[in-house]
Chain A
Amino acid sequence: MIISFLIKGLDRRTAICMLVLLLICAAVPLSNAYLPVGHPFRIPTDEMLQFGKYGSYALLAVSLDLVWGYCGILSLGHGAFFALGGYAMGMYLMRQIGARGVYANPILPDFMVFLNWKALPVTWYGFNWFGYAMVMVLLVPGLLAFVFGWFAFRSRVTGVYLSIITQAMTYALLLAFFRNDMGFGGNNGLTDFKDILGYNIQADSTRRGLFVATMLMLCLGLWVASGIVNSKLGKVLIAIRDAESRTRFIGYRVAEYKTVIFTISACMAGVAGALYVPQVLIINPSEFSPGNSIEAVIWVAVGGRGTLIGAIVGAVAVNWGKTWFTGQFPEFWLFALGALFVAGPLLLPKGIVGSISDMLAKKKSSQMYASLPATSEAVEDGASPTVE
C-alpha cells in the first residue's frame, strides 16, 4: 500500500525535481571531496554548508506548503516545529560533548554548570542516545501539532484566527525558551557541539555526510508530500481548502483530516530543524520568533503556493538572495528584500513555479488544444483560487 502510494506520488514533475536533487546530492559532495582546491568545479565547504542549510529550509517550506497550499491552513507558527526539532537534535549534540565541555562535567552541559545546576533535568534524560533523540525530533513537534490541531480544528478555528493563534503559540514558546529556568540554555541556546554519531561535526567529511542526509531527507519529504497530494487524502484536502463547509456537509470529518495533515507537516518541519542544527552549529530561541515563521510563508509564496516544488525554489532563492545581499549591500539589503516581497505578489501572483507552469500550460494548450481548458494537472497544481 505504501509502495503504491509512493509510486503514485511520482508524477512527472516531482520525479524530475527529485532527480535534480539527487544529482546535486551526489555531485556536490563528490566535487568537494575529490577536486583539488582552486579547481573551477570544486564546491568549497562553506558553500556546501550554506546550501545544506537552504536544503533544510526547503524541507520546512515543503512542509508548510503541504498544509497551506493544499489544505488552506496558513500556519504562522511552523518555525516552532522546526525549532523544536532543532532543539531535540541540539540536546543530543550537547550530551555528546560529555566531559569535553569547558568545565569538564561529564553529565551537565556547560550552561548548567555555571548557573549552578546540580542535576540533569528530566527533560534531558535519554538524549545521549541518537535513536531517542531522533524519535523526539518527530514526536515533540508532532505531538504539539496534534494537540494544538485537535483542539483548534475541532472548534473550527479557521482563517486568520488560526494564523494568529499559531503565531501566539510560537511567540509563547519563544518567551518560554528564553527563560533560563527552562533549562534549555536561555538566550544563548545550545552551542559548542563537538561530534555527531562519533564523527567530528566540523570535519569536511561529516559535513558532506550531513549535506547528503539533508538532500535525501528533502527528496523523501518531497516524495511523501507529493504522494499525499496525489492520493485520495490529497483530494479531500484540496476540497477542504476550496470549500470547507461543503466538504463537511458531504460527510468528511474535516477536523480529523486537518489534524492529520497538520501533524505530518509538523513532523517534517521537525526533521528539517534537526538537519539544520548540525550544519549551523547553534540552536537558540530566536528560531521561534514569529518573524522566522512569516519568512517561511514568504518562501512558499515566492516560489509558488500549492506546487511543492515552488516551496523548494522559493526557500533556496530567497535565502540565497539574502546571503548575497547582506554581503554585497550591507546597508541597503533590506530595501532589496522588501522590494522582492512587494514585487512578488504584484508581478508573479502565483509565485515563480506557478507562473512558469501557467505559461507552459498556456503555450501547450494554445498549440495543441486551442479550444480546451488547461489540463487538470495545471489547475490543481497551479496557485489556488482560494478565498480566506
Chain B
Amino acid sequence: MGGEPNSDMYMSNEETVSPRRHWNETVMLQSLKTPTRLAALLIGALVLFLAMALPSVAQSIDDAIAKLTTDGYSDTAAAINALATSGSPRALPIVQALNDGKLQFSASDKKVFIVTATGLVEAVTGAPVATPPADISDVRANNRIRGLVNAALGALSLANPDPQKRIASADAVFKSRDEGALAALDTAIANETNSTVAIAFKAAKAAIILFKADAPVNDRVAAAQAIQLRGTQDAVALLRSLPADTPKPVLEAANASAKAIEYNLALWSMAQNAWYGLSLGSVLLLAAIGLAITFGVMGIINMAHGEMVMIGAYVTFVVQEIIRTRFPGLFDWSLTIALPLAFMTSGLVGIAIERTIIRWLYGRPLDTLLATWGISLALQQTVRSIFGANNREVGSPSWMSGSFQVGQLSITWGRMWIIVFALIVFAGLIAILRRTPLGLQMRAVTQNRSMASAMGIPTAWIDALTFGLGCGIAGIAGVALSQIDNVSPNLGQGYIIDSFMVVVFGGVGNLWGTLVGAMTLGIVNKFLEPVAGAVLGKIFVLVAIILFIQKRPRGLFALKGRAVES
C-alpha cells in the first residue's frame, strides 16, 4: 500500500456520497456561487412557476409541509424557499421554529408540528395536539439549511416588531441581495421610525440596486455611496466584488466608498487592539493580584498560587452544577453566588497551608518556593482525583454572553465584565489595605514584624489572614477566568509564570505597579501580536521584561528606603 492507491480515494469527490445529497441537478448546472444566490434563483423560478399555475397559497404551503417530512436536506431547503415566497401568515412561525430547533415532523402522518411553551401544536393550523404521533422527530438542519433559514427569515421578518430582528433581517437581505425583497424593503423603509434600523434597510436596498444590472447608473452610484454608511468589512467586500463589466461611474463610486470605509476601519482596528490589550491586561491583573499580596507583600514565593485560581474555577463549576440540577432559574446568578464561596474556599485553603506549613518557613523564602511547589503538585492531583482530568463545563450567564457594537468595534460582554470586575477587585483590595484596621496591621507586620508585635498586633494571625486574603483573591480570579479558559486541573499552571512576570515587572510590594504592569504587558502584547504573530509577540515581551529589569532592577514602581536592602 502507500500513497498511490489511496490518492484516488480522496481525489474524487464523486465517489463519496452524502446520505442526503439529492441536489437538483439542473440547478447545479448553472454554476452558482453561493447557496444564498441559489436560493434567490430558486425563489425566482418558483415565483415564475406560481404565476403560471396560479395555485392557491394553501396548496404551496401544503407542498412545503410535505417536503419537510422527508428528512432530506434538499427537500427541507426547497420547503423553506417555498414558505418564504408563499405569503402565508403561518410561514414565519414555521421557519422561526426551524431556526430555533423546535420544528418536528411525523413521516407517517405527513404533518409538521411546532414545540411551544404550552405544548405541541400543528404547524399549519396552529391547533394544539394532545397526543403526538409515535414517529415524531426533529426536522434536522445543517449549515446550508440554517443559511437558507436566515435568508428566509430576513425576507419574512422585515416587519418584525423587535428592532434587533429587523436589523438581522436587513443584514440577511444585504448578504443575499435578493431582488424579490425590494418591494418589501421599500415598504419597510417607508414605515421605519428607528434610525439605526433605517440605515440597515437602506444599506440592504442599496446592495440590491448596486448589483442590479438593469438599474439606472445614477441610482447605482448613489447606492454605492449609501453602502459607505454601513462601514463594515463586508461592505468593502461587497463594493469590491462588482463584476468587471459594470459601468465605469458605478465602479469608481464603489471604489471611493470602499477606500473611505477601509481608512475608517484601519483607525478602528487600532482602537480594537487597545481594547484587546486592556482585556488581556485585566486577565493578567486578576491572575497576578493575589500573588501581589502573597509574594509582593509577604515575600512568599507562592508556587501554589495558580492552584488557588484553579480552586476558584472549580468552585464555580460546583455552584453551577448544583444550580443546574436544583435551581435552574438561578443560573444567571451563578457567578455572583460563586464569588464569595470561591473567596472563602481558596482563602481557607490558603490559611490552612499557612498555619500548617508556611509559618515554619518565614525568613526562608526559597524554602517556601520548594514547599509551595510540592503543595501545588498535591492540589492538582487532588482536584484530578475528585473531578477527573477532563475539562469541566462552566457556562456563561446571559449577561456575559454575546457582544455589542461601538462604531466598528465589537465588544463582547464577557470581556467587558472581566475588565470591570478586575478593576473592582483592585479597588477593593486597595481599600482593604489602606482603610481597614486589618490592612493597617498587615502593612505594619510586613514592614516591621518585631515592632508590630511589640505594639500588640497578633502577628501570627495577621500572617495567616494576609496569606488567606491573597489566596482568596486568587480564588475570585478563578471565577472570572472560568469564563474564558479551560476549567481543568492544569488551569493554574498556565497563569503562574505570567503572574510572577507581572508582579516583578510592576515592582514587588506595590499594588499600583501590578495594575500598571498588567495593563502594559497586555497592551504591548496585543499590539505586537498582529505584527509578529502570537508566539514571537510573547517572546518579544519576555525579552523586553528581561531588558527592562536591567534598567530598573526593582521593577516599575520600586519601593524606596531602608526596607529595600534588608
Given known A-B contacts A155-B550, A155-B551, A160-B504, A341 and B539 have beta carbons under 8 A apart: no
Query: What residue in chain A is nearest B365 (Cβ atoms)?
Result: A388
CB atoms of B367 and A301 under 8 A apart: yes
Tell me, yes or no, whether A387 is within 8 Å of chain B by CB: yes
B267 vs chain A, min Cβ distance (A): 32
Inter-chain CA distance A340–B377, complex, in Å, is: 11
CB atoms of A168 and B374 under 8 A apart: no
CB atoms of A165 and B545 under 8 A apart: yes
Query: What residue in chain A is nearest B357 (Cβ atoms)?
Result: A342
Task: Bits for B326-362, please: 1 = Cβ < 8 Å to A, else 0.
Answer: 0000000000000000000000000000000100110
Inter-chain CA distance A340–B542, complex, in Å, is: 32
CB atoms of B565 and A245 under 8 A apart: yes
Tell me, yes or no, whether A377 is within 8 Å of chain B by CB: no
Tell me, yes or no, whether A17 is within 8 Å of chain B by CB: no
CB atoms of B301 and A160 under 8 A apart: yes
Given known A-B contacts A245-B565, A298-B373, A178 and B501 have beta carbons under 8 A apart: no
Inter-chain CA distance A335–B374, complex, in Å, is: 8
Given known A-B contacts A155-B553, A157-B550, A161-B504, A339 and B378 have beta carbons under 8 A apart: yes
Tell me, yes or no, whether A334 is within 8 Å of chain B by CB: yes
Q: Which of A157, A297, A340 contacts B549 (CB 8 A)?
A: A157
* Residues of chain A within 8 A of B382, CB atoms compared: 335
Query: What residue in chain B is nearest A158 (Cβ atoms)?
Result: B553
CB atoms of B555 and A161 under 8 A apart: yes
Tell me, yes or no, whether B363 is within 8 Å of chain A by CB: yes
A342 vs chain B, min Cβ distance (A): 4
Tell me, yes or no, whether B380 is within 8 Å of chain A by CB: yes
* Residues of chain B within 8 A of A155, CB atoms compared: 549-551, 553
Query: What residue in chain A is nearest B363 (Cβ atoms)?
Result: A387
Task: Bits for A336-374, please: 1 = Cβ < 8 Å to B, else 0.
Answer: 011111101110010000000000000000000000000
CB atoms of B378 and A335 under 8 A apart: yes
Tell me, yes or no, whether B546 is within 8 Å of chain A by CB: yes
CB atoms of A164 and B501 under 8 A apart: yes
Given known A-B contacts A342-B357, A345-B370, A172 and B539 have beta carbons under 8 A apart: yes
Tell me, yes or no, whether B554 is within 8 Å of chain A by CB: yes
Residues 356-415 of B contacting A (Cβ, < 8 Å): 357, 360-361, 363-371, 373-378, 380-382, 385
* Residues of chain A within 8 A of B378, CB atoms compared: 334-335, 338-339, 342
Tell me, yes or no, whether A169 is within 8 Å of chain B by CB: yes
Tell me, yes or no, whether B508 is within 8 Å of chain A by CB: yes
Most-contacted residue by chain A among B364, B508, B539, B542 (CB, 10 A)? B542
Tell me, yes or no, whether A167 is within 8 Å of chain B by CB: yes
Residues 132-161 of A contacting B (Cβ, < 8 Å): 148, 151-152, 155-158, 160-161
Q: Which of A157, A168, A332 contacts B553 (CB 8 A)?
A: A157
CB atoms of A294 and B303 under 8 A apart: yes
Tell me, yes or no, whether B535 is within 8 Å of chain A by CB: yes
Q: Which of A152, A179, A297, A334 contacts B369 (CB 8 A)?
A: A297
Tell me, yes or no, whether B467 is within 8 Å of chain A by CB: no
Residues 491-512 of B contacting A (Cβ, < 8 Å): 497, 500-501, 504, 508
Q: Which of A171, A290, A301 contacts B370 (CB 8 A)?
A: A301
* Residues of chain B within 8 A of A164, CB atoms compared: 500-501, 504, 549
Tell me, yes or no, whether B543 is within 8 Å of chain A by CB: yes
Inter-chain CA distance A236–B371, complex, in Å, is: 30
CB atoms of A160 and B553 under 8 A apart: no
* Residues of chain B within 8 A of A160, CB atoms compared: 295, 301, 365, 504, 508
Tell me, yes or no, whether B538 is within 8 Å of chain A by CB: yes
Inter-chain CA distance A160–B536, complex, in Å, is: 26
Q: Which of B299, B535, B546, B551 contacts A175 (CB 8 A)?
A: B535
* Residues of chain B within 8 A of A163, CB atoms compared: 301
* Residues of chain B within 8 A of A168, CB atoms compared: 497, 501, 542, 545-546
Given known A-B contacts A179-B535, A298-B370, A346-B360, A338 and B553 have beta carbons under 8 A apart: no
Inter-chain CA distance A294–B369, complex, in Å, is: 9
A146 vs chain B, min Cβ distance (A): 15
* Residues of chain A within 8 A of B367, CB atoms compared: 301, 345, 349
Inter-chain CA distance A158–B549, complex, in Å, is: 10
Task: Bits for B543-561, please: 1 = Cβ < 8 Å to A, else 0.
Answer: 1011101110111000000
CB atoms of B381 and A341 under 8 A apart: no
B489 vs chain A, min Cβ distance (A): 10
* Residues of chain A within 8 A of B535, CB atoms compared: 175-176, 178-179
B307 vs chain A, min Cβ distance (A): 11
Tell me, yes or no, whether A74 is within 8 Å of chain B by CB: yes
Given known A-B contacts A157-B553, A164-B500, A168-B501, A335 and B371 have beta carbons under 8 A apart: no
Tell me, yes or no, whether A46 is within 8 Å of chain B by CB: no
CB atoms of A338 and B550 under 8 A apart: no
Given known A-B contacts A167-B500, A178-B535, A341 and B370 have beta carbons under 8 A apart: yes
* Residues of chain B within 8 A of A334, CB atoms compared: 377-378, 380-381
Most-contacted residue by chain B among A176, A339, A342, A387 (CB, 10 A)? A342
Known pairs A155-B551, A161-B554, A172-B546 / 10 extra A-B pairs, C-beta < 8 Å: A157-B549, A160-B504, A171-B542, A176-B535, A176-B539, A337-B377, A338-B375, A344-B370, A345-B370, A388-B365
What are 29 A-B pairs with beta-carbon distances under 8 A? Answer: A155-B550, A155-B553, A157-B549, A160-B365, A160-B508, A161-B508, A161-B553, A164-B549, A165-B545, A165-B549, A167-B497, A168-B545, A172-B538, A172-B542, A172-B546, A175-B535, A176-B535, A245-B565, A294-B369, A301-B366, A301-B370, A331-B385, A334-B380, A335-B377, A338-B375, A345-B361, A346-B360, A346-B361, A387-B566
The 7 closest A-B pairs by CB, nearest first: A341-B374, A338-B378, A345-B367, A334-B381, A172-B542, A338-B377, A338-B374
